[in-house]
Structure 1
Amino acid sequence: MTTTTTSIATKQPRLLDAFKQIIAQQHLAHAYLFAGMEGAGQLDLATWIAQRLFCLNVVDGEPDGTCEECVRIASGQHPDIVMVAPTGQSIHVEQVRYLKAEFSKSAVEGNRKLFIINDAEKMTASAANSLLKFIEEPSGNVTAFLLTTNKQLMLPTIISRTQVIEFPPLPAAVLQQTFEAAGISAKDAQTLRHLTNSLTQAQALLVDDWLPNAVDQLWQWFQQTVKGEPRSFVAVQTRLVGLAKEREQQLVLLDLIAALFQDLLQLHFDVDDESELSFGQYQSELTTLTTNLNTTQLVAATELGLSAKRQLASNISLQNVLEGLTLQLWPIFKTNA
């Protein structure tokens, strides 16, 4: 097996088998949206498909990984495979115009072209709208792969015009073992595997104890919020906003908030396995809280937590997102005040 094949076979064996069949039957669609957690294998699978389509020595449906075509694809040097990624925080309309210009050209060396858009959720609205025409009216032997870790941030018009492939999270036990083997504590690993499948990203979140500090500060804010305490509103500016100055940190902070409410829901429905929780160290306190709340309240709180990330994507500041969330949560949790 090639390195790429081994990686995707380990992460997503069912999806690998599915695309082997799709390619063998020549049923490859013109546009796919690969959606899943960071590190779930979206780029690995897109790379494997490219190698499988261009490989000079396919054996039993597998690219050999050593021919000139496979090597160039692995190094990002193949002229008929164009990849776009964010410059700064976004993928801009100029980058999509470049893609569209490439779409209209014939393949340099063969009769097929592939386009891979990494972090596709970071396309600006104008960039995403600019891409729609190709997706609606593809020309020639062209396939586009849009890769995302946040499908909810994609324009509905893009989603509706692509074949969406959901990448399930990697098995919890495997991730826990992988993270712990890399020197991450069991407690931190338990939280991290609900945030990412990527060891690299997990390690980055632990630099300067960022994640443990974020969990601690979030828990203090949460305890104040569920009691309707005004200081929870103040804590947004004095504690939480300063934690997340970088965009990626802001997204992770909102993911942690959503995970906290999902823990509440799980405990409400008697999923009491601590290892399944993002905030397992607070299981006792969370369990006590669920006894004072009904399903409607918990679902409402969870939906607010999930919607916060979409607000941030709409260029609302983190402070405004969190302050608004705090004010909306107070009446939901008023029975616990």
Structure 2
Amino acid sequence: MVAAETLSQTLVAKQPRLLTAFKHIIQQKHLAHAYLFTGMEGAGQAELAQWIAQRLFCLHVVDGEPDGTCEECVRIANGSHPDIVTVAPTGKSIHVEQVRYLKAEFSKSAVEGNRKLFIISDAEKMTASAANSLLKFIEEPSGNVTALLLTTNKQLMLPTIISRTQVIEFPPLNAQALQQTFEAAGIPSAQAQMLRGLTNSVTQAQALLADDWLPQAAEALWRWFEQVVAGEARSFVAVQVHLVGLAKETNQQAVMLDLVAALFQDLLQLHFQVDAANELTFGQYQQALTKLTTNLSARQLIEATELALTAKRQLASNISFQNVMEGLTLQLWPIFQINA
């Protein structure tokens, strides 16, 4: 948690339109009972959730802003306010017992006022039973209660949860500003360009660069990619030999699949001559990517990109990373066979 002044400054830089929108919503007393904040890591979901909490409970609101210094704001910043209940994954998941605790809290009156706020971080990590358990509150809200669900991957959320919340999309941060932010943190330009497509968070960006992991992963993926589009059988072997060993952790596997999708999205941008050459995730391979687009049709590229985008959902369905990548490789071969 951060101080209110810094919080507002952060939101003005990251999501000024959403901040303005929620100022108006709260002022007009039109706050809904459940929201799903979705966007990539570091896009401002957590900051806006905290700002809403302080705005709702602050004792001295000034020009629509929490003062950040009153007792209520300080307790919220410290995570110790009794009428704000937060839930986050324990291990890899949010379990049904945690949601049952939330539901028990839903049924209680506010300890100090007439409002309660619930914040669920990494909501996509709810188990199916936990998500289903949460549905009753979302479907039948009682009292002056608001729930904020935060996620970096809406695709992994149950459709029933999505349909019963107001979905707030957090757009990616301005590419140029994010590039400058990463470079100011000491991240080299080429790596910063790649990281822009993966995260808005400096902390997460630095974690991906630890032990030179991201450059190694990008290089291994590029070799696999060249073999796949050439229809080479060794690309299947490359999954186990080169990729699996680099993606031992769940978060590394997810990033790998994000990079796969980004490669094909780069190809689409170049094929359709989108004026975004400086925004390619794999900008260091722009010349080779441009050459590839001359040999590939729009149909091939769109079909391949759709497969790459669905691969991450397969990973969330308890299919192993190796099986996901091997399956993707086999599905991609026929698409590019015409040009092999």
| Residue 195 of structure 1: aligned partner | 198
| Residue 305 of structure 2: aligned partner | 302
Distance 1:155 1:297 in 2: 30
Residue from 276, 288, 292 that aligns with 1:289: 292
Q: Taking structure 1 as reference, are residues 272 and 219 closer, same or farther at Cα in structure 2, changes over 3 Å only?
A: farther
Listed as ranges, the gaps of 5+ residues in structure 2 are: none
Residue from 228, 231, 240 that aligns with 2:231: 228
Distance 1:205 1:75 in 2: 28
Identity of aligned residues (%): 79
Distance 1:90 1:303 in 2: 27
Q: How does 1:179-258 map to 2 (within 5 A)?
A: 179-258=182-261
Partner deviation per Cα, 1:194-226 (whole Å, 9 max, x = no partner): 100000000000000000000000000001111
C-alpha displacement at 1:110, in angstroms? 0.5
Q: How does 1:28-47 map to 2 (within 5 A)?
A: 28-47=31-50
Please tell me whether residue 132 in structure 1 is matched to residue 135 in structure 2. Answer: yes
Classify the secondary structure of the residue corresponding to 1:206.
Answer: helix
Please tell me whether residue 265 in structure 1 is matched to residue 285 in structure 2. Answer: no
Distance 1:242 1:127 in 2: 32
Residue 321 of structure 1 aligns with an amino acid whose one-letter code is V
TM-score by length of 1: 0.99
| Residue 61 of structure 1: aligned partner | 64
C-alpha displacement at 1:273, in angstroms? 4.2
| Residue 99 of structure 1: aligned partner | 102
Kindly indicate whether the alpha-carbon contact (under 8 Å) linking 1:293 and 1:335 is maintained by their aligned counterparts in 2.
Answer: no
Distance 2:12 2:134 in 1: 31
Residue from 320, 323, 327 that aligns with 1:324: 327
Please tell me whether residue 9 in structure 1 is matched to residue 25 in structure 2. Answer: no
| Residue 278 of structure 1: aligned partner | 281
Kindly indicate whether the alpha-carbon contact (under 8 Å) linking 1:217 and 1:240 is maintained by their aligned counterparts in 2.
Answer: yes
Listed as ranges, the gaps of 5+ residues in structure 1 are: none
Partner deviation per Cα, 1:216-237 (whole Å, 9 max, x = no partner): 0000000111111111001111
Residue 104 of structure 1 aligns with an amino acid whose one-letter code is S
Residue 266 of structure 1 aligns with an amino acid whose one-letter code is Q
Distance 2:287 2:185 in 1: 29
C-alpha displacement at 1:62, in angstroms? 0.6
Partner deviation per Cα, 1:260-283 (whole Å, 9 max, x = no partner): 010010001013643110001111
Kindly indicate whether the alpha-carbon contact (under 8 Å) linking 1:136 and 1:161 is maintained by their aligned counterparts in 2.
Answer: yes
Residue 285 of structure 1 aligns with an amino acid whose one-letter code is A
| Residue 153 of structure 1: aligned partner | 156
Residue 212 of structure 1 aligns with an amino acid whose one-letter code is P
Distance 2:104 2:219 in 1: 49
Please tell me whether residue 164 in structure 1 is matched to residue 167 in structure 2. Answer: yes
Classify the secondary structure of the residue corresponding to 1:116.
Answer: strand
C-alpha displacement at 1:316, in angstroms? 0.4
| Residue 81 of structure 2: aligned partner | 78
Kindly indicate whether the alpha-carbon contact (under 8 Å) linking 2:270 and 2:277 is maintained by their aligned counterparts in 1.
Answer: no
| Residue 126 of structure 2: aligned partner | 123
Residue 47 of structure 2 aligns with an amino acid whose one-letter code is D
Q: Superposition RMSD on alpha carbons, in Å?
A: 0.8
Residue 257 of structure 1 aligns with an amino acid whose one-letter code is V
Kindly indicate whether the alpha-carbon contact (under 8 Å) linking 1:289 and 1:336 is maintained by their aligned counterparts in 2.
Answer: no
C-alpha displacement at 1:55, in angstroms? 0.2
